Structure 1
């Protein structure tokens, strides 16, 4: 039997990525949508998750595509009703709330999937396997994009809990936490806040692995023209470079992988597998690093940002 799924939050990411991925995935069918500002023709539509859960439309699972602020109550309601839950990244606005959701999912015996779509890029797992056999000397991350292109008019990203530049930056952190054979921790960072915003527009971060390998990251939301999503790893055996958000891999100066975007299709295939096996997949490591940045970061004011 296919999983009967509802999407909560029919915004840009749901329309750009989730709808097509669900349609392309065996074992899962979209049957309903809950969104304050939108409906989807041909599907049962509701104003919010409470209205959905109170209706006679049966769903087995819920995919939450809403902003992280306020998502905890939605996820908790779905889990309490015995529904499997898939969380867009970031999984929540705080660490305490995502750990509470994981505990509730375990208590209810349902699946909770905290997704990191960038981990599903084609070069990520090959890079992980390769680096397991190499001696790493340095890691440099450059993640720079144009916020006006990717988040036009989305005020929530500039509010507390919206993460600002860490909304894309957490994608880089999700890859690095996956591919490096060692854990790492934040040493210092600088956060650049527009004088009229409550979230940073740029960040410079310095991490260190357990053995002392430096991991440096530069995130910036002010880049126009070509976008930059690169991770460069210096190893004793030669350079390893992931570009285009992890979809391309260069090893020792030679191209190894160049693939199209299948990230969300991979996420939904994995979700089907998790539900079928009764498992939870809730790795919060990337969010831990973002929380550390807000705790340790020196704040620098920069010019106002107007959308």
Structure 2
């Protein structure tokens, strides 16, 4: 049986990832969209979530794809209407509102899922399995991309709550928190804020690791030319490098291939929607907030440095 789902927020990520993943899955039937600016051909469209919830009690699940700041009110309304909720990353604009949404969902007896699409990249599970019994010596994240290419016209990303460079950077942190067998925490950070923006265009973070390994990350939205979404890991037993945002993997310099379990579903978002279907069937909740904790701590502990204005 396919669940009827509504997609709220019809922007680039919804069109490129969510709509195709839903269409390709036997678990889902895209029954409605909610957006002031977009729609999907052949799908009933609303410009108000409350109107959709009232008109379509048959829709069981709402997937939220709008920017993080308005997401709380949408999720709260959907939960209050008894609908299961799927949250695009980051799951909210603050940790407190994410905790509140989880409590609401549990009280209402509905499922809620904080998705981290980069955890579903092809080689992340292989990296996690390799690291399980290794002695970590260092881990370094290099996440550098051209914001003008990947986030054109997205002014919300530069406003308070938009995360700035941490909008993609949190993808790296979602992988790190998934593959490391031991928890880490932020000890220091440096945030470069354009003088006309409210969020960082670049950042670096130092972490503490319980075994004393050196763990660092650098994020930059100003990278032209080659783009980097890389995690470099040195262990006592060997070297692992995740490339292409977790889509490719080298161990001791040798390229690895994905196993049969990864091949069962093609792509990060199809796997997210398969996870959501399992949660709904089981009445489960998945609100892992570890990546967002690191971003919040980077802001709390950060040394703020004003840099040249960002001009798109």
Question: Shorter-normalised TM-score: what interval?
Answer: over 0.9
Partner of 1:287: 292
Matched with 1:22 is 22
Give the TM-score of the pair, scaled to structure 2: 0.96
What's 2:186 paired with?
186
Q: Which consecutive unaligned segments of at least 5 residues does structure 1 have?
A: none
**Counterpart Cα distance in 1 of 2:289 and 2:84:** 18
Paired with 1:305 and 1:49, the residues of 2 have a C-alpha distance of: 34
Measure the CA separation in 2 of the matches of 1:257 and 1:138: 24
Cα shift readout 1:245-278 (whole Å, capped 9, x = no counterpart): 0011111111112699600010001111111111
Partner of 1:162: 162
Structure 2 Cα separation of the partners of residues 224 and 46 of structure 1: 39
User: After superposition, what is the alpha-carbon deviation per residue over 1:178-206, rounded to whole angstroms, capped at 9, x for unaligned?
Assistant: 00011001111100000110000000110
Query: Does the CA-based 8 Å contact 2:186-2:298 persist in structure 1?
Result: yes
Pairing 1:59-70 to 2, within 5 Å after superposition: 59-70=59-70
- Cα deviation, 1:96-143, whole Å, max 9, x if unaligned, reads 000000001111111100000000001111111110111110001000
In 1, Cα distance between the equivalents of 2:150 and 2:169? 13
Alpha-carbon displacement from aligned partner over 1:201-220 (angstroms, at most 9, x marks no partner): 00011001122212100000
Distance 2:101 2:118 in 1: 22
Structure 1-normalised TM-score?
A: 0.98
In 2, Cα distance between the equivalents of 1:302 and 1:257? 41
Counterpart Cα distance in 2 of 1:212 and 1:160: 34
Secondary structure of the residue that 1:106 maps to in structure 2?
A: helix
Maintained 8 Å contact 1:102/1:282: yes
Correspondence 1:299 to 2:304: yes
- Hey, what's the Cα distance between the residues in 1 that align with 2:206 and 2:288? 22
Structure 1 stretches (4+) deviating beyond 6 angstroms? 258-261
Q: Which residue matches 2:214?
A: 214
How far apart are the structure 1 equivalents of 2:40 and 2:181?
A: 43
Distance 1:26 1:210 in 2: 43
Count residues with an aligned counterpart: 307
In the aligned structure 1, how far is the partner of 2:88 from the partner of 2:48?
A: 17
Q: Which position in structure 1 is the counterpart of 2:146?
A: 146
Shift of 1:57: 5.8
Deviation at 1:225, TM superposition (A): 1.8
Residue 73 (structure 1) shift: 0.5
Segments of 5+ residues of structure 2 without an aligned counterpart are: none
Instruction: State the partner residue of 1:240.
Output: 240
